[in-house]
Amino acid sequence: MREQDIRDELDNDPNAHGYAAIIGVAGPDDEAVNLALAAELNLADIARNKATMTRQEVLDAVDDAELLAIVDAVDIANIWGVLASDAIDPFGLAQQVFVGAFGGASQTITDLATARAELISRATELSLGFVKPGHVQMARNLP
């Protein structure tokens, strides 16, 4: 764990998570405060676009009735061409193929737009992994 990165996050609070309010006047060895800070760092509340999606993630977002309603052979071939890949870029050619086949206002496109985003924690965003109260305590005890 990179305690200095945690310390910098707590001291600077660049995304206004309110760490100072959680800390209050508590010392670095206050277990309840360290638990609350770790929970805040691990809270998955930051939206991030996925770089890739699996074939299954894409298929799960496809509306069955809309898929069965597609009759154009080129659209069908293009869809299956996209789904032949194990890692699909949801913002690249796949997006164009699916909008062309299903239409921009379709349920499939709405569901795919939702599926291509994910919620992550600030700890994940900082590449810290899962932060435990002990990590916070060590960070707060740094000079």
Read off the tokens for 61: 């977002």
Q: What is the pLDDT of residue 23?
A: 95
Q: Which residues contact 110 (CB under 8 A, 6 or more apart)?
A: none
Q: What is the pLDDT of residue 129?
A: 95
CA dihedral 45, 51, 57, 62 (to 10 degrees): 100
Q: How confident is the model at residue 42 (pLDDT cuts 50, 70, 90)?
A: very high
Question: For 53-71, what is each residue's pLDDT tens digit?
Answer: 999 999 999 999 999 999 9
Of 35, 15, 19, which Cα lies nearest the Cα of 131?
35
pTM check: above 0.85: no
Q: How confident is the model at residue 82 (pLDDT cuts 50, 70, 90)?
A: very high
Q: What is the mean pLDDT of the chain?
A: 96
Q: Sign of dihedral through CA atoms 61, 64, 68, 69? A: negative
Percent of the chain with pLDDT over 70: 99
Q: How confident is the model at residue 47 (pLDDT cuts 50, 70, 90)?
A: very high
